[in-house]
Amino acid sequence: MTLQNTHETGPAPTSFSWRNLAYPYGLWALFALPGVAMTIAIMTSAEPAEMIHEMVHPSGEFSARFLIATMLASPLVLVLRGWRGPQWMKRNRRYLGVAAFGYALLHTILYLIDKAALDPVLSDLPKFYIWTGWIAFVIFVPLAVTSHDWFVRRMGVWWKWLQRWTYGAAVLTLAHWAALNDWGGIAPALVHFGPLIALEAYRVWYWYLRPRTATN
């Protein structure tokens, strides 16, 4: 998945070096570590079905974390001007966004395996904490599919329009997370999404609401 200007990546390597080899493959390996750990835990468990059930929630949480990191890039660049960390996040939004989709896909697969049949999946659909998650995932799919530069060039202004749906996916993900715990467990969700909400509010204020000095 790619979220707003995700075609902005680091400079293309011009010659072979170990540094070029590590980027982006080393970055992908780093992002994949939690998923690899979950897979190993499932495969080596004496109770694979029980372990799959236990891994449903962590996989979804990692998807949310990568989604938040992707969306934090632009407001952090605005707030922490000149800092390398936000600039690195902005250059690598493509990879962060696709990682978010990858864990959302893993989350969905584990959920379906855990349910083990179509009937319980369909009976769950009317539940608020279920359909919010499904809609968020459906939004993630075209964002991930169009993350390649080819789509950016071909779609033009429509690509940016599509990327704005990321905000809807983020709201649905927050609602999915909080409602999953009957809203009593909203604190962990807000701990994750709170900084994003605050920084996005600041960005809106900075670009649209702050007083501006009149110029002749």
Residues 3-62 pLDDT 10s = 544 444 444 444 555 566 567 788 889 999 999 999 999 999 999 999 999 999 999 999
Domain boundaries, the chain: 21-209
Measured CA to CA, the distance from residue 185 to residue 191 in angstroms comes to 11
**What pLDDT sits at residue 24?**
78
Q: What is the mean pLDDT of the chain?
A: 85
Lowest mean pLDDT of 19-28, 62-71, 160-169, name the range.
19-28
Measured CA to CA, the distance from residue 201 to residue 156 in angstroms comes to 27
Phi-psi region of 77 (alpha: psi -120 to 50; beta: other; left: phi over 0): alpha
Using the 8-state DSSP alphabet, how is residue 11 labeled?
P
Provide mean pLDDT across the span 72-99: 88
- How far is the first Cα of the chain from the last one, in angstroms, to the nearest whole number? 44
**What pLDDT sits at residue 8?**
45
Residue 34: its H or E element: helix 25-44
**What pLDDT sits at residue 185?**
64
- Of 134, 166, 150, the closest CA to residue 69 belongs to 166
